[in-house]
Each structure stands twice: as C-alpha cells, then as structure tokens.
Structure 1
Amino acid sequence: MNKVILITGASSGIGKESAKYFAAKGWHVIATMRNPEKETELNTIDNILVTKLDVQDTSSIAHAIETGISHFGHIDALVNNAGYGQMGIFEAMSKEQVINQLEVNVFGVMDTVKAILPHFRERKQGTIVNVSSGAGKFTLPMLSMYSASKFALEGFSEALSFELSTLNIKVKIVEPGGTTTNFGKTSQDVFAAGIADYDPFLAAAGKMFDAMRNGLVTAEDVAALIYEAATDNTDTLRYVIGNDDFMLRMKAREEMADQDYMNLMRSSFEKHLS
C-alpha cells in the first residue's frame, strides 16, 4: 500500500519541493494551497492531488483532509509547512499584522493537527512534521513576531510529541536556516517600519542579514530532510539544516551560557552600527 502525505503551503518553496520529493519516492501526495486553480506543475504529476487548504479557514482544512482520504483511502503523514515571516519593527506593526502572524504560523498548525488526529488515532499511527525555523531556537533583529510564532510552534510540538507518543503518532520539527526561496520577498511585502528613530538599527540589521546570506540551503535540501524526518522511524524530535553561519548560531545557543550568548549576539549586530 502506498504511503500518503498531506502537505500545507505547497504552492511554492519548501512545500512545493516537498510534494515533488515525496511523489518521486513513490508516495501519494495531497498538495494543498490557498489557490489551487493557479497551480500548473504539481497537478501534472500522477500521484499528486492538488486541493485547497487555507490554514485560517477550518472548514477548508476539514475539506482537504476529507478529499485526500476519499481520493487515496487514508493519510499516513502531515507536513505543516504553510507560513510566512512578519519582519520589521514591532512598534510599527499593526494589531492586524501581529494577529495574522500568529493565526497562520501557530493557530493554523494547531487547527490542522487537531483536524487530522481523529484519523491518525483511528489508524493507530501517523506522523506530523512541523516546519519551524532557526528563529524558533534563537532570535535576530526585526524578527520579533516571526520568532514569537516559531518559539510557540516549538513548544507546542515538543509537548504534543509527549502526548501522542503512546498512540503511535510521531511529532517531528524541521528547523531550516536561510533558504533560497521567496521567503525573503514575502517578508519584505509585509515589512513594518516608518519610525525614524529606528533607522540606524534597521541599517545595521540589514548589513547583518546581508552577511548571513552566503551558502543558503535550497528548498530541495529542506525537502529531503523533511522526507528523512517522516520516514526514519525514530523518536527524534528536531532536524536542523542551514549554512555555516546558521549552524554556528544554533550551536552557540545550545552550548553557551545565556549571558555569554546574549553578549555574542549583541556584538555581532552592534559592529554594523558604525
């Protein structure tokens, strides 16, 4: 029997590459997105079903799951990939921007997990892969709300893994660093600024991000790691991928004393202020 996976946010980037990767490995794929009528590639692949799912619409979540089960018979795994990065100055963010970031990156994941759990419990098995970020382990300037959403996702996923372990349902977290996707463009489209007092900070933060962009990993690389997480049959919770700068920051966060780490991060940012 073929394995079946449902992937959210499959219209581009990591989600699309994951759909293609799993399909190439012989899985049946339910590739979901907000506007499936615009998709022109995934719907040409025989073992991929493209259907609508908007993580801010619980009825569309339920319908996508029902459609996938009706089409393929069952679902073995879920990849929660849909999300975006709200960047900018927190003080400049509107209440709507703050709420939208949490609704998509946190509540959307929770609603999708809750909708699929009865099916997994009925089958006495299942795997949930939540795509987090390095920003769920350490923070950077201009990422206050994105980090807040990913820190919340990390805590939710870790606690959920304990709850579901006795039901033979695995929970995995994939933590990518910077990737060669349209994430940056999407983040710029919703960038919050416009307060002059922060201009020196924004200029320094921009230089820091520019220095971090060497050797970004590809969406295909992340898709391969998601596949590993979904298929390795271990109880490993976290899977990390990123360039050298990213991996050094992850190591520093995990191994350094808290104040030493904070001093290191402040110095790496402040050197760009001059």
Structure 2
Amino acid sequence: MMKKTIFITGASSGIGKATALYFQEKGWNVVATMRNTDSGKELAALPNVLVTTLDVTDSNSIQTAVSNATSTFGTIDVLLNNAGYGMLGTLEATPVKTIRQQYNVNVIGLLETTQAVLPIMRKQKSGTIVNISSMGGRIALPLGSVYGATKYAVEGISEALQYELEPLGINVKIIEPGVITSNFSKSVAFNDENITDYKVVVDKIMKTYKGGESNEAFPVSEPITVTKVIDKAIHDTTNQLRFPAGNDAEQMLDARAKLSDSEMITMLKENFGI
C-alpha cells in the first residue's frame, strides 16, 4: 500500500510540529511547511519529511509549496490548515492594518491554500481537509473580537465546504482546540492600548489568560493532545464535522450547547472576574 501524504501549514512549532513528528513516526510522508525553514531542521533530518517554505499570505509561496509536495511525494492525501496566530485586545485600540493581517493569515491564507490543494484531491477523488479552528470559533471570548471572528469564519467556511466536497470523495473536518501551551504563551499578540477607560477590565481578563488566580478555568493542554484528535478526525468514517481538543474545549463547548446566551455570558464573566 502506498504511503499517504499529509501537508501541514505552520509546522515550525506547536501543533504543526507535533503533528508532523507524529505522522512521520506513523510512516506517513510529511510535507512540513513554514515561513522560515531554519526552524525545521529537526524535521528535515527525518526520512519521508519534506520541509519547504510556505507563507500563507503569499500566493506564489503557496503554489510553490504545493508543487514541491507533489513533485516529491506524488500527491496530497490530507491538508492540515494549521497556520495562524492569536491576537487579543480591545477592538477600538486595534489598528485596521492589524485586523487585516489577522484575517490574511487565519482566513484568507487557509482559503487560498485549500484552493491550491483541491485540484489534486478532486483528480484522485479522495482526500481530507482538516481546519484548525478553536473553541473560540464557537464561543467568543473576552478581548477576542478580531481573533474570534477569524475562527468563526473558519467554522463557517468548513461547514459550507463539506457540502461541495463530499460528493467528490473529499472530507472536511474541524478541530477545536482549547488553550494549548504553544498558543497563549508564545504566539498571542496583544494590542497594549493607552485608552485608560478599558484598563481595569483588560487587566482582569489578562490575569486569567496569563495564569492568575482564575487560571484553573482554562487549563492548558499540550500540542500532542490536538495531534491525536487530528488523527482521529482524519480516520473518522462518519459525517462528524467538529472535534473538540482538550478538556477545557470539551467542557466549554458542552456548556455552550446547553446554556442560553445569557447564561454563557454570565459564566464567562465569572471565570474572568469581570
């Protein structure tokens, strides 16, 4: 049986790197893409791994990476749209340029990478697209008006896309991680505004995010936790679309399903001390 090939965006660290290592160990061909391939030396030293440059905000970069993947391994069986970053801050203090960049990476990059891979999957009449969303793609969290909007977009894109692609033999799956060690500790940008009216509430919210007294409300998981859920989703033969990843995500999304908007907002206010 031919080895399957997984194409991963944002594979230099966190969930992307953990997933690349996991599938390489499972005997897959792995295309580990990242903006700076210097970060991929550990992966590049492994057999059946192609480390190649991909910046999801650069159209030529996307096309070149996909071409490199197919010329090396022949095809792409799974696309993991993982590249993205978090951003917290009050909307008023967030420059429009910053908002556009968040959308370019988290949404437009995902759409364009998917467009580049779909002709390959359509031709072979098989494939799986796995989009990394967030529990914040179904629960808008404080200071997440821009980031949350991008993840809500990923949810909508994925849900609509599965109707188009199922008849072609292509699956779509959404992964909804909770707080992962790599996310808020390393990759979350924060707009530190000078609008003093927001200071009290921002300080309380950030205390929870950064691990203050209320940190037990958002226990963090390791990237491998998400990787194992990705593996489950790829091999899922049902029409399940969404896969929470991490105890906090499971608990929060279960609460979201059971509580009214008012009840959910009240609970989150209590968790964040606001």
Return the TM-score normalized by structure 2.
Answer: 0.93
**Partner of residue 244, structure 2:** 240
Deviation for aligned residue 1:35: 0.8
5 Å-filtered alignment, 1:1-274, equals: 1-188=2-189, 190-209=190-209, 210=211, 211-212=214-215, 215-244=219-248, 246-269=249-272, 272-273=273-274
Q: Deviations over 1:202-254 (max 9, x none)?
A: 1111233332356411101111111111122332111112234x433211211
Q: Deviations over 1:76-117 (max 9, x none)?
A: 110000000111111111111100000100000000111111
Q: Is the 8 A contact 1:178 1:243 kept in 2?
A: no
Aligned pair count reads 269
Q: Deviations over 1:33-69 (max 9, x none)?
A: 0111342210011111000111001111111111110
Secondary structure (helix, strand or coil) at the match of 1:6 reads strand
Matching residue's letter, 1:257: S
Once residues 183 and 66 of structure 2 are traced to their aligned partners in structure 1, the CA distance between those partners, rounded to angstroms, is 27
Distance of aligned partners of 1:182 and 1:174 in 2 relative to their CA distance in 1, 3 Å threshold:
closer
Distance of aligned partners of 1:150 and 1:182 in 2 relative to their CA distance in 1, 3 Å threshold:
closer
Matching residue's letter, 2:138: K
Q: Is the 8 A contact 2:86 2:183 kept in 1?
A: no
Q: Is the 8 A contact 1:87 1:192 kept in 2?
A: no
Matching residue's letter, 2:224: E
Matching residue's letter, 1:166: P
User: More deviation in 160-169 or 232-241?
Assistant: 232-241
Distance of aligned partners of 1:187 and 1:110 in 2 relative to their CA distance in 1, 3 Å threshold:
same
Secondary structure (helix, strand or coil) at the match of 1:14 reads helix
List alignment gaps of at least 5 residues for structure 1. none
Distance of aligned partners of 1:265 and 1:215 in 2 relative to their CA distance in 1, 3 Å threshold:
closer
Q: Is the 8 A contact 1:131 1:175 kept in 2?
A: yes
Secondary structure (helix, strand or coil) at the match of 1:83 reads coil
Q: Is the 8 A contact 2:30 2:50 kept in 1?
A: yes
Matching residue's letter, 1:253: R
Once residues 215 and 163 of structure 2 are traced to their aligned partners in structure 1, the CA distance between those partners, rounded to angstroms, is 35
List alignment gaps of at least 5 residues for structure 2. none
Deviation for aligned residue 1:193: 2.2
Once residues 69 and 215 of structure 2 are traced to their aligned partners in structure 1, the CA distance between those partners, rounded to angstroms, is 40
User: More deviation in 157-166 or 227-236?
Assistant: 227-236
Deviation for aligned residue 1:186: 2.1
Matching residue's letter, 2:258: E
Q: Is the 8 A contact 1:93 1:192 kept in 2?
A: no
Once residues 12 and 184 of structure 2 are traced to their aligned partners in structure 1, the CA distance between those partners, rounded to angstroms, is 13
Q: Is the 8 A contact 1:90 1:192 kept in 2?
A: no
Q: Is the 8 A contact 2:225 2:246 kept in 1?
A: no
Matching residue's letter, 1:191: N
Secondary structure (helix, strand or coil) at the match of 1:41 reads helix
Q: Deviations over 1:138-174 (max 9, x none)?
A: 0111111110000011001001011111011000000
Q: Is the 8 A contact 2:15 2:82 kept in 1?
A: yes
Deviation for aligned residue 1:197: 0.9
Return the TM-score normalized by structure 1.
Answer: 0.93
Once residues 54 and 215 of structure 1 are traced to their aligned partners in structure 2, the CA distance between those partners, rounded to angstroms, is 31
Once residues 222 and 16 of structure 2 are traced to their aligned partners in structure 1, the CA distance between those partners, rounded to angstroms, is 12
Once residues 241 and 270 of structure 2 are traced to their aligned partners in structure 1, the CA distance between those partners, rounded to angstroms, is 31
Sequence identity (%): 43
Secondary structure (helix, strand or coil) at the match of 1:5 reads strand
